[in-house]
Amino acid sequence: MIEGLEHIVAAHAFFAGLEPSLVALVSGCAKNARFEAGKYLFREGESADWFYLLREGRVALELRDPARGAVTLQTLGPGEVCGLSWLAPPYRWSYDARALDNARAIAIDAACLRRKSEADPRFGYEMMKRFMPPLIERLQATRLQMIDIYGAHG
Amino acid sequence: MAPMADHDPMIPRVAHVRRKQRELVDVATLEIDAGEFFFAPGQFNMLTVFGVGEAAISVSGDPADPSRLVHTIRAVGAVSRALTELSVGEPIGLRGPFGRGWPMDEARGRDVIVVAGGLGLAPLRPALYRLFAERENYGRVILLYGARSPQDILFRDELEQWRGRLDAEVEATVDHARGDWRGNVGVVTKLIARAVFDAPNALAMLCGPEIMMRFVADALGDRGVAPERIHLSMERSMKCAIGWCGHCQFGPVFICRDGPVFTYAQLRGLLATKEL
Ligand SMILES: Cc1cc2nc3c(=O)[nH]c(=O)nc-3n(C[C@H](O)[C@H](O)[C@H](O)COP(=O)(O)OP(=O)(O)OC[C@H]3O[C@@H](n4cnc5c(N)ncnc54)[C@H](O)[C@@H]3O)c2cc1C
Ligand code: FES
């Protein structure tokens, strides 16, 4: 079972090239997950105990605004990581994640990964190197979305 | 391609609006009765609303159909607003076509990545018509389109039609959407990371806001597309449109005469400059 998971973890784009001993460490915190279209992977305010590496289907990150209903901030697809709030205290989701299609993912126990990162700085640093780029990318994307590049012209 | 050799290039000829279609709240497409009108994808005309002024507007129609001259205009100021408010039968001044368009010949045999942002889809549409009409001449054809919101998506029906083609990959994304939108949300650069193409042999055509083109060009560069193969269409305000007045100068080049389509290799340094 774990062996199968190791295979799946190693094959995920997010962990491309991760050395086998570290794949084994990640896999020890991982399990398979499925979400039917419309189901939530997590909700705003909940504690960030699990996060997801998407394998199939797309997921919308949403904020609920009583005046406007749900607003989609971003959509994610296969090869991407869903959920970054588990990386830093207070480890709480600041948005909802909802499956747009039937989705499959590798679910990772956040506390387990944090614990292993603390215990093995080399592993921890490798994880940081992989989670930092999507964080920066999302910051950059948010900036572009904020300045409304298509607004007045284009 | 000498434009209207029998005319003084500075004097507009008078044509009439034959058909009009409202595309979005602030965008309209005009079909202009201009006899047989030949142009290359990416070229533009100077359109006049008499008594108001003149503006540079790209041709957005099919280069294979010279009987229909089509322009798509967004109202941003006095002239463009007046253009979108013209009614069928009203006169319109026309000079052109001007400029160097998309490198359709250089694209032959290559994977072609077309990236449009907002109204930038209009100047790219003639290139897309050509790509689809001569599909066998090109490798993969990929169209990536970014808009502000689902309500701002231009040529929606056509995008749907193209998306249905088995010989092209068509993806759209919006910056902002309500929860009921089932498409992609996020910046258009994200679509580039996901697209499948043969980078060393690919050619890209970009049109949209300058910031968007800069980030898209860099994202294509990161995937391995050479700056010489990334082509983008620039907009600067025009007066003469034939390289006389210097109004459209952008560093060492005149957009009207040397462009509006340039390579990223030509523009990279200039695009990073705050004001030119
Ligand atoms: C080669 C070329 C092709 C073009 N093709 C098209 C086209 O197919 N469809 C189309 O709608 N427009 C196109 N444009 C842009 C169009 O020429 C301008 O929007 C128009 O000149 C604005 O004139 P105006 O008098 O309406 O606005 P102005 O009164 O000159 O400007 C009003 C406001 O709009 C801003 N503005 C002016 N020009 C632009 C611009 N290019 N982009 C963003 N903001 C601007 C000004 O800063 C100002 O805030 C093209 C421009 C060029 C150079
Ligand atoms: S508009 Fe006069 S030189 Fe380009």
Residue range A84-128, pLDDT digits in tens: 999 999 999 999 999 999 999 999 999 999 999 999 999 999 999
Q: How far, rounded to the nearest angstrom, does the alpha carbon of residue A153 sit from its chain's CA centroid?
A: 34
Query: Tokens standing for B199?
Result: 């980078």
User: Is any atom of ligand 2 closer than 6 Å to the C-beta of B238?
Assistant: yes
d(CA B254, CA B241): 9
d(CA B225, CA B195): 13
Whether the per-residue pLDDT at A17 is higher than 60: the answer is yes
Query: Tokens standing for A128?
Result: 């940081």
**Window 38-67 of A, Cβ < 8 Å to B:** 58, 60, 62
Determine the average pLDDT of the residues in A123-135: 94
Coil, helix or strand at residue A125: helix
Amino acid at site B28: A
Ligand 1 centroid to residue B79 C-alpha, Å: 9
User: Is any atom of ligand 1 closer than 6 Å to the C-beta of B247?
Assistant: no
In this complex, the residue of A73, A144, A149 whose CB is nearest that of residue B185 is A73
The ipTM of this complex is 0.84
Q: Are strands B249-250 and B184-185 parallel, antiparallel or unpaired?
A: unpaired
B41-87 pLDDT, tens per residue? 999 999 999 999 999 999 999 999 999 999 999 999 999 999 999 99
So what's the pLDDT on residue B3?
A: 53
So what's the pLDDT on residue B5?
A: 53
Residues B233/B264, Cβ–Cβ less than 8 Å: no
Cβ burial, residue A38 (10 Å; 0-12/13-18/19+): exposed
Residues A60/B173, Cβ–Cβ less than 8 Å: no
Whether the per-residue pLDDT at B144 is higher than 60: the answer is yes
- Using only C-alpha atoms, chain A has a radius of gyration, in whole angstroms, of 16
Strand order in the sheet with B111-117: B184-185, B169-174, B141-147, B111-117, B202-207, B230-233, B261-263
So what's the pLDDT on residue B160?
A: 94
d(CA A29, CA B260): 54
- Across chain A, mean pLDDT equals 92
Whether the per-residue pLDDT at B268 is higher than 90: the answer is no
Strand order in the sheet with A59-65: A40-42, A96-99, A59-65, A69-76, B177-178
Per the CB < 8 Å rule, is A147 touching B211? yes
Whether the per-residue pLDDT at A154 is higher than 50: the answer is no
So what's the pLDDT on residue B196?
A: 94
B159-217 pLDDT, tens per residue? 999 999 999 999 999 999 987 888 999 999 999 988 999 999 999 999 999 999 999 99
In this complex, the residue of B148, B181, B189 whose CB is nearest that of residue A148 is B148
Q: How far is A100 from chain B (nearest CA, A)?
A: 7
So what's the pLDDT on residue B39?
A: 97
Q: Is the dihedral of CA A146, B205, B197, B270 positive or negative?
A: negative
Amino acid at site B159: L
Query: Tokens standing for B227?
Result: 């700056």
Q: CA dist A5 to A84, A102, A107, B166, B174, Å?
A: 21, 20, 11, 34, 35
Q: How many residues does chain B have?
A: 276
A152 interfaces chain B, CB cutoff of 8 Å: yes
pTM, two decimals, is 0.90
Q: Are strands B111-117 and B27-33 parallel, antiparallel or unpaired?
A: unpaired
Q: Are strands B111-117 and B202-207 parallel, antiparallel or unpaired?
A: parallel
Determine the average pLDDT of the residues in B239-248: 91
Q: CA dist B129 to B123, B203, B234, Å?
A: 11, 17, 21
Q: How far is A86 from chain B (nearest CA, A)?
A: 22
Q: How far is A109 from chain B (nearest CA, A)?
A: 27
User: Is any atom of ligand 1 closer than 6 Å to the C-beta of B238?
Assistant: yes
So what's the pLDDT on residue A68?
A: 82
Q: CA dist B224 to B15, B68, B139, B192, Å?
A: 46, 38, 17, 11
d(CA A70, CA A82): 18
User: Is any atom of ligand 1 closer than 6 Å to the C-beta of B56?
Assistant: yes
Give the residue carrying structure tokens 């391609």: B1
Which residues of chain A make contact with B189, given a CB cutoff of 8 A?
141
Interacting residues of A100 by C-beta distance below 8 A, sequence separation 6+: A37, A57, A58, A59, A60, A75, B182
Determine the average pLDDT of the residues in A73-84: 94
d(CA B228, CA B231): 7
d(CA B137, CA B139): 7
Per the CB < 8 Å rule, is A153 touching B212? no
Q: CA dist A78 to A16, A17, A56, A106, B71, Å?
A: 13, 17, 5, 11, 39
